[in-house]
Amino acid sequence: MKFQLLILMLLILVSCTNIKKICFKNNICIDAEVKDSPEEREQGLMYRKTLEENKGMLFVFEEPDEYGFWMKNMNFPIDIIWLNEDKRIIHIEKDLAPCKSESCEVYYPDNDSLYVIEVVANFTEKNHINKGDLIYFKLS
């Protein structure tokens, strides 16, 4: 019985690792859902009704590249933050409006990124988050 309980606790711990705390300068932190498979990354925040101010989504890729994001099937505006492999911000798109048409603009970073963070619109402006800032992640 103790062994089964231990296995259950380990499974719960492993399942919780898909949430990371992302911290910006000035100790501004959010809880972010981690999307690291192609299927999860493709779905992203599409069709969700809202995103709380202290929440976000972290997209993790296998290798650095110029990953594009669009606002198709979104229900609210967001900021998108691209990070390089050192977790330094290389590009920010602010207050992107949802796209309801069939052909939506795709937003790209200026350089290769390994991580992308989506947060509520105006989060970067409100918290003075800028290109060049260093970000860190920790398990929550």
**Torsions phi, psi of 125, nearest 5?**
-65, -50
CATH code for the structural domain at 21-139? 2.60.120.1140
- Collapsed DSSP state (helix, strand, coil) of residue 9: helix
Q: Where are the domains of the chain?
A: 21-139
Q: Tokens 């990124």 identify what position?
A: 113
**Torsions phi, psi of 10, nearest 5?**
-65, -40
Model pLDDT for residues 12-42, shown as the tens digit of each residue: 333 344 889 999 998 999 999 999 888 888 8
CA-based nearest residue to 81, from 116, 127, 112, 57: 116
pLDDT tops 80 at residue 107 = yes
The CA angle 44-90-56, to the nearest 5 degrees, is 30
Q: Give the predicted TM-score (pTM) of the model.
A: 0.83
Q: What is the mean pLDDT of the chain?
A: 87
- Which pLDDT value is given to residue 14? 39
Mean pLDDT, residues 79-102 = 96
